[in-house]
């Protein structure tokens, strides 16, 4: 390689600023702010580095600083929104820096004019965000110049100008860049930099919210980020009584718990083998006799959840709600409490054979491993329900199902994956396999348990976190990252929840009178 070519090569390095970088930094500031008297003195730089060395970041190329970003930590309540640059920076001395503060305040970002177009500013902004997250600060706030406003000051107010920049009708060299870096405008402030004639002394108060901020971190008992899901693909087999059934349930709960899972999901009507005891009865009478076992099974499930330290989604079972027979799924938490979700949409067969009726409410359940929802089988085929749960900040949707044929399974499966993508959540589904020759309406089974995710770079390319073999009794155990959901909702390449046109449409839950 020739010496000339070596001289032309960039060798970019992101690092913290050192006192010896002053001349490089001053050169950049003078070229940018030459008419504004905004270049710092050597002493001011020393003061800034002494106050908060971690917050002063630069990019060097072949040993020369070509871009830099400066920041400090403040208790933002001490300043409020109507501050000036001099007030919040202590006239450039950074003696307002408060290590116990909650906000990273960005004071300056600048790039050498010869390095424009290389997106170095974006690198600096990303490093600031990383710093904010690592320090567990609430947000980044900055006062942003609007130098392009000078060309429009006689025609419109600053607010109108900012709206045009937001809508990309007008380009502003500072504000357009900040909006592209996920900052939003909180308000317009005046006299922020009185010497900034291009901005007419106006500025935008900008904020980037740290979605990972934890106000009160605890040493133990924090909300989990990595959650382990255990799914049971259950084989239908004859059981002579509830004890036999629960022995098999306990085997799988023990297995799932042995992998330190946070949840164990069972299929819809996993207790259907007990129907064989009532095979001489009419189907509607048999299912009502099966409902008599539900209280006992729920009680024993709750005991298993506590003793094996795992939250159990107990598939579904028939249950009387007053004088109405419904299909219910119980969430048995490992702290001893429980909740339940009725199936809302009853299939034609369930209605005609058994006389089941749909429930009237839908819930998101708080657990020690995230906010979860439950949709039983057919319910997942109604996208409105998943969206209502997503609007209540659901992290994981559990879908216990029972399907007899492959086409029935594919309806549930396809819709479950769609719910994961459109609602930016995880969806776990499982059903039963095998057959029950002497149980009417439950004779054959088809299942392929799976865990689905949103479809973006942070997740599997096909949205499949894990998937079981078809029609085999087995389990799935897999981890899901709840922090990735937060990241997806705020910074994904598409943001289905955030970008809904709520000015045009919405989903309304009608409370039963």
* Residue-level pLDDT at 463: 94
- 207: annotated active-site residue: no
Query: Which residue in the list 343, 350, 415, 417 is annotated as catalytic?
Result: 343
Assigned superfamily of 12-209? Gcn5-related N-acetyltransferase (GNAT) (3.40.630.30)
Tokens coding 140: 């980044």
| pLDDT (0 to 100) of residue 202 | 87
d(CA 394, CA 388): 9
Q: Which of 151, 204, 210 is nearest to 175 (CA)?
A: 204
Pick the catalytic residue from 132, 377, 415, 425: 377
Token readout for 69 is 């970003």
315: tokens are 């598939």
Which residue ranges does the chain devote to CATH 3.40.630.30? 12-209
Cα 414 from chain centre: 22
Rounded to two decimals, the pTM is 0.73
* pLDDT at position 408: 95
Instruction: Return the HEC string of 311-326.
Output: EEECCEEEEEECCEEE
Give the whole-angstrom CA distance, residue 463 versus residue 188.
42
d(CA 157, CA 429): 54
Structural tokens at position 283: 């189907």
Three-state SS for 180-229 is HCCCEEEEEEECCCCCCCCCCCEEEEEEEECCCCCCCCCCCCCCCCEEEE
| pLDDT beneath 50: ranges in the chain | 1-6, 36, 513
Give CA–CA dist 412/420, Å, rounded.
Answer: 12
Q: Residue 378: which residues within 8 A CB-CB, separation 6 or more?
A: 343, 345, 346, 347, 412
**Is CATH 3.60.110.10 the classification given to domain 226-491?**
yes
Active site residue 343: yes
The dihedral formed by the CA atoms of 435, 436, 439 and 443, expressed in degrees to the nearest 10: 10
Judge whether 4 counts as a catalytic residue.
Answer: no
Contact of 320 with 291, CB cutoff 8 Å: yes
pLDDT at position 362 is 95
Specify the domain boundaries for CATH 3.60.110.10 within the chain. Answer: 226-491
Query: Phi and psi of 409, rounded to 5°?
Result: -60, -45
Quick check: 277 and 436 in contact, CB under 8 A? no
The catalytically annotated residue of 268, 319, 381, 424 is 268
Neighbours of 221 (CB within 10 A): 7
Reduced 3-state DSSP string for 74-126: ECHHHCCCCCCHHHHHCCCCCCCCCCCCCEEEEEEEEECHHHCCCCHHHHHHH
């Amino acid at each position: 390689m020739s010496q000339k070519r070596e001289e032309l090569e960039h060798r970019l390095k992101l690092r913290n600023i050192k006192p010896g970088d002053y001349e490089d930094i001053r050169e950049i500031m003078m070229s940018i702010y030459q008419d504004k008297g905004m270049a710092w003195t050597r002493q001011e730089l020393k003061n800034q580095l002494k106050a908060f060395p971690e917050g002063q970041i630069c990019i060097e190329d072949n040993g020369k600083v070509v871009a830099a970003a400066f920041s400090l930590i403040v208790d933002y309540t001490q300043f409020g929104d109507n501050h000036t640059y001099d007030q919040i920076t202590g006239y450039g001395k950074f003696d307002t820096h408060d290590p116990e503060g909650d906000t990273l305040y960005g004071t300056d970002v600048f790039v050498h004019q010869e390095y424009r177009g290389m997106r170095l500013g974006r690198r600096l902004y990303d490093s600031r965000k990383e710093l904010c997250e690592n320090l567990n600060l609430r947000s980044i706030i900055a006062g942003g110049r609007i130098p392009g406003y000078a060309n429009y000051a006689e025609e419109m107010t600053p607010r109108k100008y900012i709206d045009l920049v937001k809508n990309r009708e007008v380009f502003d060299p500072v504000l357009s860049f900040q909006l592209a870096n996920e900052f939003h405008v909180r308000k317009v402030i005046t006299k922020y930099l009185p010497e900034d004639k291009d901005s007419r002394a106006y500025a935008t108060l900008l904020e980037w919210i740290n979605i990972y901020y934890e106000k009160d971190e605890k040493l133990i008992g924090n909300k989990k980020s990595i959650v382990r899901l255990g799914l049971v693909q259950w084989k239908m087999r004859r059981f002579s009584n509830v004890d036999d059934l629960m022995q098999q349930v306990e085997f799988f709960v023990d297995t799932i718990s042995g992998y330190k899972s946070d949840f164990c999901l069972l299929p819809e009507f996993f207790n259907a083998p007990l129907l064989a005891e009532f095979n001489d009865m009419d189907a509607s009478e048999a299912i009502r006799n099966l409902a008599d076992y539900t209280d006992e099974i729920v009680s024993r499930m709750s005991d298993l959840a506590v003793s094996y330290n795992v939250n159990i989604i107990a598939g579904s079972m028939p249950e009387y709600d007053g004088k109405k027979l419904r299909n219910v799924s119980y969430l048995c938490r490992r702290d001893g409490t429980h909740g339940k979700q009725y199936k809302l949409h009853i299939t034609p067969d369930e209605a005609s054979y058994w006389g089941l009726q749909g429930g009237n409410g839908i819930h998101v359940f708080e657990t020690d491993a995230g906010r979860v929802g439950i949709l039983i089988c057919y319910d997942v085929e109604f996208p409105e329900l998943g969206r209502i749960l997503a609007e209540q900040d659901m992290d994981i949707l559990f879908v216990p199902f029972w399907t007899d044929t492959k086409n029935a399974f594919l309806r549930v499966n396809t819709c479950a994956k769609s719910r994961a993508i459109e609602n930016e959540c995880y969806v776990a589904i499982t059903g039963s396999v095998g057959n029950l020759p002497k149980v009417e309406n439950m004779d054959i089974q088809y299942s392929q348990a799976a865990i689905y995710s949103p479809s973006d770079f942070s997740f599997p390319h096909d949205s499949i976190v894990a998937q079981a073999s078809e029609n085999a009794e087995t389990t799935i155990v897999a981890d899901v990252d709840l922090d990735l959901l937060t990241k997806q909702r705020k910074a994904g390449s598409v943001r289905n929840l955030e970008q809904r046109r709520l000015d045009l449409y919405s989903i309304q839950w009608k409370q039963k009178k």
